[in-house]
């Protein structure tokens, strides 16, 4: 029985290692960037030693790729479901989607990814491509889809949906970066809720027929 408990504990431990290391790596990469982040740091945070990381990932670069790819899919899926599951008016859908998106902003883990992508896309074209295909393109399809439906239904005026995509999501992305990079230097904290409200209002007024 004791042996059985042991075995279970060890198995769970082993299964848990991969996400634990990814989590630790995401934190560390997010704070310092890919190059400046040492595997020793990641290992310490994950509660293992450097050598152990190599049992789960062939090298630092692959670990980085895993960090990026495995941390995002759930979020995208969530977003797609918000839209697909309903047949609400486009403005309502857009609002819900942005509010869902805005929840990521303060998330200490996933929220670090955009900064990472921006910093390292040049050095890791493979990651950039993956991120573009799996996150950005899907996100853009979601949003432009809503915009198109809104136009078709007469809920939005005739707008350039590809361009407006930027107007819609950019403020949230910039807010995400701001929180991590500049809020500490500013007099007041960034009021994410107010920003969302204000931005949504601007969008609704701005796109109204």
Q: Which residues sit at the interface with its own copies, rule CB under 8 A?
A: 31-36, 115, 117-123, 128-129, 132-133, 136, 157, 159-160, 162-164, 166-167, 169-175, 177-178, 180-182, 185-186, 191, 194-195, 197-199, 201-208
Output 77 or 170, the one with its CB closest to its own copies.
170
Report the distance separating Cα 3 and Cα 46, nearest Å. Answer: 26
Report the distance separating Cα 209 and Cα 206, nearest Å. Answer: 9
> Closest distance between its own copies and the C-beta of residue 194, in Å?
5
> By C-alpha distance, which of 60, 51, 69 is closest to 32?
60
Output 86 or 193, the one with its CB closest to its own copies.
193
Output 78 or 181, the one with its CB closest to its own copies.
181
> Closest distance between DNA and the C-beta of residue 10, in Å?
4
> Closest distance between its own copies and the C-beta of residue 128, in Å?
6
> Closest distance between DNA and the C-beta of residue 84, in Å?
39
């Amino acid at each position: 029985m004791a042996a059985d408990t042991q075995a279970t504990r060890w198995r769970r431990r082993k299964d848990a290692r991969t996400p634990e290391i990814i989590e630790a790596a995401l934190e560390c990469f997010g704070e310092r960037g890919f190059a400046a982040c040492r595997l020793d740091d990641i290992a310490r945070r994950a509660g293992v030693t450097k050598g152990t990381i190599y049992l789960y990932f062939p090298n630092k670069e692959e670990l980085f790729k895993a960090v990026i790819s495995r941390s995002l899919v759930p979020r995208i899926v969530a977003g797609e479901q918000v839209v697909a599951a309903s047949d609400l008016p486009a403005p309502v859908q857009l609002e819900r989607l942005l509010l869902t998106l805005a929840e990521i902003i303060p998330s200490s883990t996933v929220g670090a990814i955009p900064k990472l992508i921006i910093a390292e896309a040049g050095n890791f074209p493979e990651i950039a491509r993956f991120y573009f295909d799996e996150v950005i393109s899907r996100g853009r399809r979601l949003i432009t889809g809503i915009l198109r439906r809104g136009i078709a239904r007469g809920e939005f005026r005739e707008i350039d949906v590809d361009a407006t995509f930027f107007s819609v999501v950019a403020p949230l992305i910039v807010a995400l970066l701001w929180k991590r990079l500049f809020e500490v230097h500013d007099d007041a904290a960034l009021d994410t809720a107010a920003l969302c409200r204000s931005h949504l209002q601007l969008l609704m007024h701005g796109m109204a027929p």
